[in-house]
Structure 1
């Protein structure tokens, strides 16, 4: 049985409780982060901590009392749950004022809710999908306008994943005003020649922690990076495509809306970036 963390306590998952009046439950008034664990160590922890703090600030949400102890909490959950490879999910909500109200509760009397739990994923870095590649469909992007804040409002991304599953594919790329924004839970890229193309940072997409690291490694490897929107048609004519996320790392895309890229197999750029990212991130893991 997993040990989880709820508001200062390490508990068996069956004993963990959050109020039915918690605003995360009632209003999706919460933010989250997912940090990968490889070899018992945390990947890109500081990047996730910094983005979490930004999300809280953007929503005028208080930090929980244990915010400065998050690294210790992550490490303790890894230890007590025996996680070698896997993920740690962290969620902070505005808390419970004891009833439902659209207005934010008084911060003097309502404290944030902090929850963390682990997911055991043996062989996380050796996913068969990384060798075979994934297939994506395109869907309209109808989410709210602040996708740069990592909130728990994940209904439409969940619907997008189900649309992809129904179509016999693995994920969906969302399209707005004719251009790809991002995947349902990842950033999207295409490759043309030695040039990596991905949408620039703005309110339109999540500022991916893995994205930042991969682009830095790409530039260090003398690859050209162009940050701009691209269309589905352009993607279908690209040499390669891939996604990045904290749990997928760098994952090649081999088919977009039924059109195969290359010969339907992953390309060398995505494979090389995945290799570099994993090597460098494991070295820097905490």
Structure 2
């Protein structure tokens, strides 16, 4: 069964305009579009199938271990961190969140904040927060370009900078702890909630956990594996027009077209569209045009 998805659209204070080209061509969406939850069974952001049912309903009790989003920024996201499963279970009655990013587009000077600079301790970070310093100055800033990949384990302090468009694959959880939010107001005109105590509990301050190597950085413009963990594996496939690829699938897999147009067993998927593949062990992916495709498989 191949289920094309209708994403859940999210207005954010930092959202951009690029995703509207694909998700809101008629211009009916109000406000900056920051995220589209392409494949999601989270209650506050369900993706829908073309028959009007939610993906959660169609899966009939089967657990989806991942969530896929497109993200586009016109401003910096908050500096934040996600807990691991143990902490999230105790404090939120939820799962923790490992995630990863594959960069689709970026302005010339755009980048991400990822990991603490060498020598930044828990006490130093706490001091900066309490004194009202610019907390971003304590984080590594990494310029990014199309094809860059980063794995973001739970406990990693991070923020996506302005001028970046990416696809995110994450553990199926919505738990985020904001550390600092650039001293700005939210869409309601009020400061957004911070979660400093919990964030300080879960940030990984080990020097080795804040170096670029820890985040599995790579630039991958050709076909290859992005990452594999306990919840999903994610792979990029680059196809020329007319090329075919036999996909070996298991569990609940997802196909996200990042560039071009493809067919999977005669179901057309266009650029920035997504489909879930259920109860099929293998399928033929055919590129109608030159294409780049993200394939996510449940582990």
Fold shared by both chains (TM-score > 0.5): no
Q: TM-score, normalised by structure 1?
A: 0.26
Q: TM-score, normalised by structure 2?
A: 0.25
Q: Which has the higher strand share?
A: 2
